[in-house]
């Protein structure tokens, strides 16, 4: 799976492992790699938050018109999707400006809709977000921390949560409920599914997960 680490302009408090990945930055995200003494493989932006005359030597630069329909990040991922990248890890895009945070959740859905894996990390480095649709995942058996499940669909059906402090079995979740918020890990392998719909799942950064088959009724 071809992996991308994509940096936005939001604040970051934790350094990431940058090896074996294509490094991409959107506009002000260039600050982060520059501070680490690294140059990106791809820099995309209209350069409204980072002056173009201060750019070093990225391998590739895509300059965008400030008057555009998509954000810099949407443009960047579309370029990389066309080039065959399928595993996206998004930093500096969650926890700063609220409008950019919401756009980042849409970016995760955009990638998922196109068959890619997407993980969105919080700017404090402690949490990550994934999206699942009409599928199920297994979670590692951690004994502390929280997991939250939100519907990213008008109504998500057949939602099941097992081996967490609070369980659900074949329930409906909607935009207007907080039923899946702040569940607790209990040291057992967890299971989360949605038969029809989309879920955004918020996990501790160290929580491992993998896709699995939906259980038969």
pLDDT at 15: 59
| pLDDT tens by residue, 54-103 | 788 889 999 888 887 788 889 999 999 999 999 999 987 665 556 667 78
The radius of gyration of the chain from alpha carbons, rounded to an integer in Å, stands at 18
- What pLDDT does residue 98 have? 64
Residue 217 lies in a domain: no
Can you give the pTM of this predicted structure? 0.80
Checking if the pLDDT of 3 tops 70, the result is: yes
Q: How confident is the model at residue 205 (pLDDT cuts 50, 70, 90)?
A: confident
Total of domains in the chain: 2
Residues 182, 147: one domain? yes
Closest by Cα among 110, 42, 40 to 80:
42
Query: Pick from 125, 156, 171: which residue ends a domain?
Result: 125
For the chain, give the mean pLDDT: 86
* Last residue in a domain, options 81, 103, 125: 125
pLDDT at 53: 74
Q: Quick one: 54 and 81 in the same domain?
A: yes
Per-residue pLDDT at 165: 93
Same domain, 140 and 121: no
pLDDT band at residue 150 using 50, 70 and 90 as cut-offs: very high
Task: Name the residue with higher pLDDT: 56 or 179.
Answer: 179
Q: Based on the domain organization, do 35 and 86 belong to the same domain?
A: yes
Range of the domain at 174: 129-212
Which of 26-40, 63-77, 93-107, 192-206 has the least mean pLDDT?
Answer: 93-107
Q: Do residues 142 and 208 both lie within one domain?
A: yes
In the chain, the percentage of residues whose pLDDT exceeds 90 is 45
Q: Are residues 116 and 162 in the same domain?
A: no
What pLDDT, on a 0 to 100 scale, did the predictor assign at position 145?
Answer: 86
Q: Has residue 80 been placed in a domain?
A: yes
Q: Are residues 85 and 160 in the same domain?
A: no
Counting other chains too, the contacts that 77-82 makes at CB distance below 8 Å and 24 or more residues apart are 77/4, 77/6, 77/107, 77/110, 77/111, 77/116, 79/42, 79/44, 80/4, 80/22, 80/24, 80/42, 81/111, 81/114, 81/116
Whether residue 116 is found in the same domain as residue 159: no
pLDDT of 60: 93
């Amino acid at each position: 799976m071809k992996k991308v680490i994509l940096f936005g302009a939001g604040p970051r408090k934790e350094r990431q492992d940058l090896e074996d990945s294509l490094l991409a930055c959107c506009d002000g995200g260039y600050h982060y790699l520059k501070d680490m003494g690294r140059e990106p493989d791809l820099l995309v932006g209209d350069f409204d938050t980072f002056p173009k005359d201060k750019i070093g030597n990225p391998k590739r630069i895509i300059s965008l018109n400030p008057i555009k329909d998509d954000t810099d990040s949407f443009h960047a991922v579309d370029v990389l999707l066309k080039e065959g990248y399928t595993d996206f890890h998004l930093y500096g895009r969650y926890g700063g400006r609220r409008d950019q945070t919401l756009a980042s959740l849409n970016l995760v859905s955009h990638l998922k809709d196109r068959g890619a894996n997407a993980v969105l990390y919080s700017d404090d480095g402690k949490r990550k977000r994934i999206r699942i649709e009409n599928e199920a995942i297994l979670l590692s058996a951690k004994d502390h921390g929280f997991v939250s499940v939100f519907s990213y669909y008008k109504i998500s059906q057949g939602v099941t949560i097992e081996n967490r402090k609070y369980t659900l079995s074949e329930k409906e979740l909607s935009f207007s409920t907080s039923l899946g918020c702040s569940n607790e890990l209990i040291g057992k392998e967890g299971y989360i599914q949605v038969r029809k719909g989309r879920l955004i799942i918020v996990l501790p950064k160290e929580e491992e997960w993998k896709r699995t088959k939906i259980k038969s009724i």
